[in-house]
Structure 1
Amino acid sequence: MSASQTEPKPSYVKLAMRNMVQKRVTSLKHFVLTTVGLLAVLVGLAYLTR
C-alpha cells in the first residue's frame, strides 16, 4: 500500500474553509450578497403574504 492510499482525502468542508481563508474578500462579498438576498426574499414573501 502506498502512503496516498492510507491517508484520507481532505473533506469538502476542509477544502472550502481553506479556500475561504485564502480568498477572504471574495468570500465576504459572497456571504454578504447571499445574506442580503435571503433577507430580501423573506421580506418580500412576508409583504406578499400579509
Structure 2
Amino acid sequence: MATDPTQAPSSAAPTPKDSYVKLAMRNMVRKSRQSLVHFGLTSLGLIAVLLGLAFLTHH
C-alpha cells in the first residue's frame, strides 16, 4: 500500500529525521496565509517600536 507524499502524516509527533527548520518550512507552506499575516504583524510591530524609540530619544 503506497502512501501519498502530499498528505501530512496522521501522527502529530515528528519523525527523528525531520529537523526543526524542515518542520517550520513545511508548516509555512501549508499555512501560507497565516504565516504571511503573522510576518506582517511582526514587521509592523517592530517598525512601531523602532519609531517609538526614535521619537522618545529624539533631542
Range into which the TM-score falls when normalised by the shorter chain: 0.7 to 0.9
Would you say how many aligned residue pairs link Structure 1 and Structure 2? 43
TM-score by length of 1: 0.81
Higher helix fraction: Structure 1 or Structure 2? 1
| 2:12 aligned partner | none
Gaps of 5+ in 1: 1-7
TM-score, with length taken from structure 2: 0.69
CA RMSD across the alignment: 0.9
Distance 1:28 1:21 in 2: 10
Q: CA deviation at 1:10?
A: 1.0
Question: What displacement does 1:9 show?
Answer: 2.0
Which ranges in structure 2 are unaligned for 5 or more consecutive residues?
1-15
Runs of 4+ in 1 over 6 A off after TM superposition: none
- 2:6 aligned residue: none
Structure showing greater relative contact order (alpha-carbon pairs closer than 8 Å, 6 or more residues apart): 1
Deviations 1:15-44 (A, max 9, x none): 000000000000000000000000000000
Q: State the partner residue of 1:27.
A: 35
